């Protein structure tokens, strides 16, 4: 009886005449998907981890609004896929993006899925992660700087705001955002609204109806952190008119802290955006000295609301 052992061909000879032939296994490279927060737009606000991953990605899947300066940081050999641009100029449906990511990973590729800001904040990162993991694909999330943190406003501030809430102002066409207005209208807190430019008039009306003062400062920040950044400092009662001047992407930062932004601009810089048409905006009559005093003693800030614009003025644009 032959003893167990390897023969010259490399097969394992078991007891009896049975042979277990072990073929040299082909190494299958496992793919991986990294859901990476790209931050608000300024490439310097990428995390070190995001930068490293971009440098070694085989494929980068990104949205239409991802700045070119960030895409340029990817490996020159990386394949770039824009899921926000098709012939019809529509974004690829989420299900198709999920299928694409799964298929690329199954090809053994290292995939970086760039997502604006932080993947988990109004970014559908959780959905993409769940689908990938359910498909057996290795997937990880890399946090990013969310847009609110680049708005240039201290979102909490001693004596002015002890809490900050991030909400979405997105609503199905013609509908209203489904939010807890009574809770959001309470004083001493900052409310940051993402995707709220086109619903700004409804948001302002709801907050005021729930008790938030019409004189509450609001700063609308468009393209935060980018060279194209625009800011409008206004009040809740004038928000509907003033927000219509911007195109987005933009955030609404609602609360007393919004008035502090003036004091935080570099010395010599003028407050906020300039009115495009004389009288077409309502602006807070808050100057730099007021705001600096406000930082030392917020209760001393008095907000003077200029007169209402003539009826019919103030363009309303579809935003975002």
Ligand X SMILES: C[S@@+](CC[C@H](N)C(=O)[O-])C[C@H]1O[C@@H](n2cnc3c(N)ncnc32)[C@H](O)[C@@H]1O
Where do contacts with ligand X occur on this chain (CB under 6 A)? 40-41, 116-118, 121-123, 146-147, 194-195, 221-225, 248-251, 320
* Long-range residue pairs from 315-320, CB within 8 A, at least 24 positions apart, any chain: 315/244, 315/245, 315/280, 316/244, 317/244, 317/245, 317/246, 317/247, 318/198, 319/197, 319/198, 319/243, 319/244, 319/246, 319/247, 319/248, 319/250, 320/195, 320/197, 320/198, 320/248, 320/249, 320/250
What residue is closest to ligand X based on CB?
117
Beta carbon nearer to ligand X, 114 or 161:
114
Marked catalytic residue, from 63, 118, 242, 290: 63
Marked catalytic residue, from 49, 58, 82, 85: 85
Quote the CA–CA distance of 61 and 85 in Å, as a whole number.
11
Beta carbon nearer to ligand X, 74 or 221:
221
Question: Measured from the CB of residue 66, what is the shortest distance to ligand X in angstroms?
Answer: 11
Question: Measured from the CB of residue 117, what is the shortest distance to ligand X in angstroms?
Answer: 2
Catalytic site residue 85? yes
Question: Measured from the CB of residue 207, what is the shortest distance to ligand X in angstroms?
Answer: 17
Beta carbon nearer to ligand X, 98 or 225:
225
SS3 of residue 20 by DSSP: strand
> In angstroms, what CA-CA distances link 274 with 194, 244, 251, 270?
23, 14, 18, 9
Contact criterion met (CB below 8 Å) for 110 and 31: yes
Question: Measured from the CB of residue 222, what is the shortest distance to ligand X in angstroms?
Answer: 6
Beta carbon nearer to ligand X, 109 or 145:
145
Catalytic site residue 202? no
Hey, which residues are catalytic here? 63, 85
């Amino acid at each position: 009886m032959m003893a167990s052992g390897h023969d010259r061909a490399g097969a394992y000879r078991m007891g009896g005449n049975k042979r277990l032939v072990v073929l040299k296994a082909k190494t299958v490279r496992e793919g991986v998907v990294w859901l990476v927060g790209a931050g608000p737009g300024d490439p310097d606000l990428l995390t070190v981890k995001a930068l490293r991953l971009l440098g070694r990605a085989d494929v980068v899947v990104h949205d239409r609004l991802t700045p070119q300066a960030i895409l340029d940081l990817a490996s020159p050999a990386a394949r770039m896929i824009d899921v926000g641009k098709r012939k019809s100029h529509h974004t690829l449906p989420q299900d198709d993006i999920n299928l694409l990511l799964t298929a690329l990973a199954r090809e053994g590729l290292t995939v970086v899925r760039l997502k604006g800001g932080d993947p988990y904040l109004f970014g559908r990162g959780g959905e993409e992660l769940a689908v990938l993991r359910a498909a057996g694909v290795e997937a990880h999330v890399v946090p990013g700087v969310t847009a609110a943190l680049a708005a240039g406003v201290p979102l909490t501030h001693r004596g002015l705001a002890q809490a900050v809430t991030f909400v979405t102002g997105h609503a199905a066409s013609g509908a209203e955002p489904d939010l807890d207005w009574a809770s959001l209208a309470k004083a001493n807190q900052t409310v940051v609204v993402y995707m709220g430019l086109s619903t700004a008039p409804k948001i302002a009306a709801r907050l005021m109806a729930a008790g938030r003062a019409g004189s509450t400062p609001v700063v609308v920040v468009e393209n935060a952190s980018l060279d194209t950044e625009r800011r409008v400092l206004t009040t809740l009662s004038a928000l509907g008119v003033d927000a219509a001047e911007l195109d987005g992407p933009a955030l609404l930062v609602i609360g007393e802290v919004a008035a502090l932004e003036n004091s935080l601009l570099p010395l010599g810089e003028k407050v906020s955006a300039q009115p495009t048409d004389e009288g077409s905006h309502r602006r807070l009559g808050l100057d730099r000295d007021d705001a600096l005093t406000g930082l030392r003693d917020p209760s001393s800030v008095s907000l003077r609301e200029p007169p209402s614009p003539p009826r019919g003025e103030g363009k309303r644009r579809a935003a975002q």
